[in-house]
Amino acid sequence: MIENHFSYALRLKVAAIVVLALSACATQTTPSQNTSTSKPQVTEEACVLIDTDFDIDDMMAIPVVTGSRNVKAMIVSEGYTLAPQGASALARFIAEPGQRSPAIIVGASYPGTRDIKKWPWLQDMRNAMHRSNDLLSKPLTPKVEKNHNFTAEVTKSLEGCKSVSILIIGAFTSFVEYSPAIRDRVTSIVMQGRPYISDKYGDKPRLSFNCDYDIESCKTAFEQMKGLNPTWVDVPRDAKPPYSPTIQMVDGLDNYGLPGTLKAALMSNQHYWRLEYLTNGNQSRLWDQLAALYMLHPEDFHLNTGHMEPTPSPAVMQKMWTDDINKNNK
């Protein structure tokens, strides 16, 4: 396992060196984002699969990618939301005229009954996210056939894709089931958090909720990702000011289309993302938002042992988030 960790870290360091070399050849002194007002070109054969549990930061991350990449499918795994309710909420959230329409797939549920007592805040947040952060008046649950084959649905949704990038911003419960079926086309995996093995040998791993919720699938996924160009993206833990969502970020969103829907959803309930409204020691950071931004702007991140962290200040990353969502979802 130690050799696995250093193999990942070495590959990430090599990638970071290449990125830094390319950046040094340019004359820019500010992040590369916002140099053009044009929407990025989408390549039909290069596809993206988003694996999510549709938490509040997932809601803020998804529009960064859907407008700028060829997202063919999103699979909802149990975590902050239950898979069926989360899938329905997500489907309504992205349903905007003129938007690309990726397949929304009900993914895996936790094997057995998950005891959530260790996360005393989870049920309240889950109830809100089943309603798209209280944007909907009540949860909507799709009819799902018992023992439905979500692996087949993932495979079908990716027909015609020569390459697949996966953004994992939820638990790994679904990934360990469907990834073998598409492994031959997976060119990269970006996920929020840090490697299961600690960044520093001998330290206890700092597990994200996504790993902690289903630790066994996390361990399995760590092995399955070998050779698939995995990248972990995390928030600098001690940054001051913190890399957190702000009301200015949300106020800057357009009032129409998917940015407008996101704005309305976030303003419907501000108690799960605004720092000044949080209680009981809860935190709000740009967890999944940074993973999504990494897919668009890897040159604005640097290696910190086994994971990537943003190089620009929190204010720059916050503006980058707002600008990307507005620009790429027109």
Backbone angles phi, psi at 294, to 5 degrees: -60, -35
Candidates 156, 209, 208, 201; CA nearest to 49 is 156
- Tokens standing for residue 84: 């069926």
Q: How far apart are CA 300 and CA 310, in angstroms?
A: 6
Assign domain 2-20+39-328 to a CATH class: alpha beta
Q: How far apart are CA 257 and CA 302, in angstroms?
A: 33
pLDDT at res. 33: 45
- Tens place of pLDDT for every residue, the chain, 330 residues? 333 433 444 444 444 433 333 333 333 334 554 444 455 556 678 999 999 999 999 999 999 999 899 999 999 999 999 999 999 999 999 999 877 789 999 999 998 889 999 999 999 999 999 999 999 999 998 888 878 899 999 999 999 999 999 999 999 999 999 999 999 999 999 999 988 765 554 556 667 899 999 999 999 999 999 999 999 999 998 899 999 999 999 999 999 999 999 999 999 999 999 999 987 667 899 999 999 999 999 999 999 988 999 999 999 999 999 999 999 998
Q: Among the residues of 150-246, which ranges form H helices?
A: 150-157, 175-182, 209-213, 215-224
Q: Where are the domains of the chain?
A: 2-20+39-328
pTM (2 decimals)? 0.86
SS3 state of residue 256: coil
Q: How far apart are CA 203 and CA 136, in angstroms?
A: 43
